[in-house]
Amino acid sequence: MQPRTEIRRLSQHGTLAHASEQMAREVLASIPLGRLKSELSSELLHVVHSVAYAPDDRFGTLKGKLSFDYALALVRGKHRIEPAQIRQSWAAAPAGLALRTYDSSEIAKIRQHGASFMALPWPTLSTVSGRSQTGKTVFRPANQIPADLNKLCDEVKKMLRQPRHGGALEGALVAAHFKQNFIAIHPYMDGNGRVSRLMAERILHEFGLPAPDWSQGNFDLNLGVEDAALLILQHLPKAPANPAAPGYATVAHLPS
């Protein structure tokens, strides 16, 4: 069993999540400058995710329980979940009629992990004004994820191999291309935004640019690449991490 301090250090939620993100930045910083164009891969993304969004975290904000979506993700091969987490989860008993989206083999797989199901149906979310349901964004089908991730990595590596013509916008466009497409692919049940920001920061570093202040911009997943790139530039710090970064001074002249 992990020491409690280790579990807290790897927390996925709250202020302690910052420590996990910093650990992931250290992983990315270990890649020498100029090598990302050959080392970017889905395997690297999975490593970054596993560090930035620790798989052995016990979801303290949810009192040690997993959501139904995580149980569903396990059987659909979209997110790795430790068997012990499934055994702790009340959520193997899904809300509403969501169980109907399982097939018999998926139900068997969850039961193999030690989970059981409660009686159905459960009600939808109840409010003072009556029953209601909340909408959510629908991402690409899970069975396309491996191919989509590989394609995105290949696209970005090709961009990084192109001759540099100078200008901060060049780096921001590559970072935005990765970030917006990665979010659209949405390979993980959670932690996608975290990984997209970390990788965008590492791509910007290839161009001698610092990380933007992500908290200041509305980096909506529906933004086009060009708009996301301009937003990245608008929220770069005033002084570059690399004073020799070509074109960095143009950031000051972008519209706010």
Integer Cα distance of 171 and 211 in angstroms: 11
| Binding site listing for ATP | 190-197
pTM: 0.62
- pLDDT for res 224: 83
The answer to whether residue 186 is catalytic is yes
| Binding site listing | 190-197
Catalytic residue (choose from 49, 79, 177, 186):
186
> pLDDT tens, 105-125?
766 666 666 555 443 333 333
> pLDDT tens, 129-155?
333 333 344 556 667 888 889 999 999
Integer Cα distance of 105 and 102 in angstroms: 8
Integer Cα distance of 72 and 66 in angstroms: 11
Structural domains in the chain? 4-53+141-253 (1.10.3290.10), 65-123 (no CATH)
